[in-house]
Amino acid sequence: MKSAWVVGYHAVQAVLELSPERALECWVVHNERNANQRELINQARRRGVSVQHTDKTKLARMCSYDQHQGVALMVRPRQEGNEKDLVAHLQGVSGPALVLILDQVQDPHNFGACLRSADAAGVDAVIVAKDNASPITPVVQKVASGAAETLAIFRVSNLARAIDAIQQEGIWVVGTSDKATESIFNQDLSGSVAIVMGAEGKGLRPLTEKKCDSLVKLPMAGQIVSSLNVSVATGICLFEAVRQRL
C-alpha cells in the first residue's frame, strides 16, 4: 500500500506533529467558523503539506468513512514492527514494562478503542496478531484519537512465539479468560507484565491461553451481563496495572 487515510482532528494532528514526513495531502470540508480546522490547516501548511478543499460527501467517498469530522490526511502508511523489532524495543524500556497483546481483535472500533486506552495507560508496546485482526484503518485512526501514531505497535505472524520471546525478556504474561478463577484485582501487575485480551465473542485461542503464565477474569456482579466488550475490559485491566504502579 503506497498511501492510506487518516481522518478526524486528533488523528490528523497527531500525524502532523509526530510524523509530518508521512503526510502527503490534507483534504478539508471548509468551514470558516471552525477554529480547530483553521489551526489544522495552518499546521499542515507550516509542514509543507498541500491543503485541498472538497465537500462532505466527496470526502467520505475518498476516505471510505463518513465520520471524518471534515478533515482527512492522505499519508504514507505507518510501518508496524515485527517480532524481532519487538524484542529490541522491549530491551530499551526503562522500568517495569507494560504490554498489551490483542489476540485477533477484528472490529476496527474495538481495536481503535483499545489503542486509545493503551496510550492513556502508558503502554510500552501493543502486540497484535497478523491474521484475522483489524489493520489500522481510517476507523481505527479516528477512534484511537491519535494513539495509532503514538504507540509502538508490533504485528506478528505467530502470537505464541511472540509470547515466548517476551517471556524470555522477563515479562509475566497474564491472560484474560472467563474460565479463570482468579480476579485481576488479586493479580500482581506492578512488575513487567503483558495483558492478553481475546477476540470479540471468542476470547483467547487455546494455544494463546496455554502460553499465558496466569489467567484472570473481571468479577461480574450483574444478573444479565456476563462479559464486557473487549475494549471496555482492556481499559479496566490496563488501569488496574496503572493503579498498582502508582
* Cell numbers describing residue 197: 485480551
- Structural domains in the chain plus CATH codes: 4-75 (3.30.1330.30), 83-245 (3.40.1280.10)
- For the chain, give the mean pLDDT: 92
For the stretch 131-145, pLDDT in tens is 899 999 889 989 999
Distance CA 150, CA 186 (A): 30
- Give the model's confidence band at 245: pLDDT under 50 very low, under 70 low, under 90 confident, else very high: very high
Strand order in the sheet with 23-29: 4-7, 71-75, 23-29, 50-54
Q: What mean pLDDT comes out for the span 205-221?
A: 93
Distance CA 201, CA 67 (A): 26
pLDDT for residue 223 is more than 80: no
For the stretch 25-71, pLDDT in tens is 999 998 878 888 889 999 999 999 999 999 999 999 998 888 888 99
Nearest residue to 71 via CA among 103, 40, 42, 95: 40
Nearest residue to 151 via CA among 115, 117, 121: 115
pLDDT for residue 128 is more than 90: yes
pTM of the predicted model as reported, rounded to 2 decimal places: 0.89
pLDDT for residue 228 is more than 60: yes
- Give the model's confidence band at 226: pLDDT under 50 very low, under 70 low, under 90 confident, else very high: low
Could you give the C-alpha distances from 43 to 28, 46, 82, 128, 193, in angstroms and in order? Answer: 13, 5, 32, 32, 38
pLDDT for residue 193 is more than 60: yes
- Give the model's confidence band at 209: pLDDT under 50 very low, under 70 low, under 90 confident, else very high: very high
Contacting residues for 170 by C-beta, under 8 A, at least 6 apart: 192
Residues linked to residue 29 through DSSP beta bridges, in sequence order: 54
User: What was the pLDDT predicted at 78?
Assistant: 84
Is there a contact between 236 and 120 (Cβ–Cβ < 8 Å)? no
Measured at the CA of 8, the angle between CA 32 and CA 230, to 5 degrees, comes to 155
